[in-house]
Amino acid sequence: QVQLVESGGGLVQPGGSLRLSCAASGTILDISVMRWYRQAPGKERELVAGITSGGITNYADSVKGRFTISGDNSKRMVYLQMSSLRPEDTAVYYCYINAKTATWVPAFRTYWGQGTQVTVSS
């Protein structure tokens, strides 16, 4: 079984910075994609950033130039460095991975964390 735990969320002033972390535990043989999603009240969950095992990244237009995603496969960690935060960045942020957990199972599966609250307010 695989478990993802997010941390680093909290209250920050507009223009401030925050770093989110996601730790994956359990048997993980290979990770193809690591992502961060977020969901604000009354809105659909949206993709914020993603990174492949090869280091290729992608970002939502709303966070380009402000957020940076990074991962450490050896430590089973994924991070989201957020800067120049705005009130509209307020949301619950979720960690996501697509991983293979056993050699006898060729297919990859998806796993989600419980989420961490980020509130941007003065």
Backbone angles phi, psi at 90, to 5 degrees: -60, 125
Give the pLDDT confidence of 4-22 residue by residue, as tens digits: 999 999 999 999 999 999 9
Residue 73 pLDDT grade (very low, low, confident, very high; cuts 50, 70, 90): confident
Residue 83 pLDDT grade (very low, low, confident, very high; cuts 50, 70, 90): very high
Residue 37's SS3 state is strand
Torsional sign, CA 31, 27, 69, 89: positive
Residue 79 has pLDDT above 90, yes or no: yes
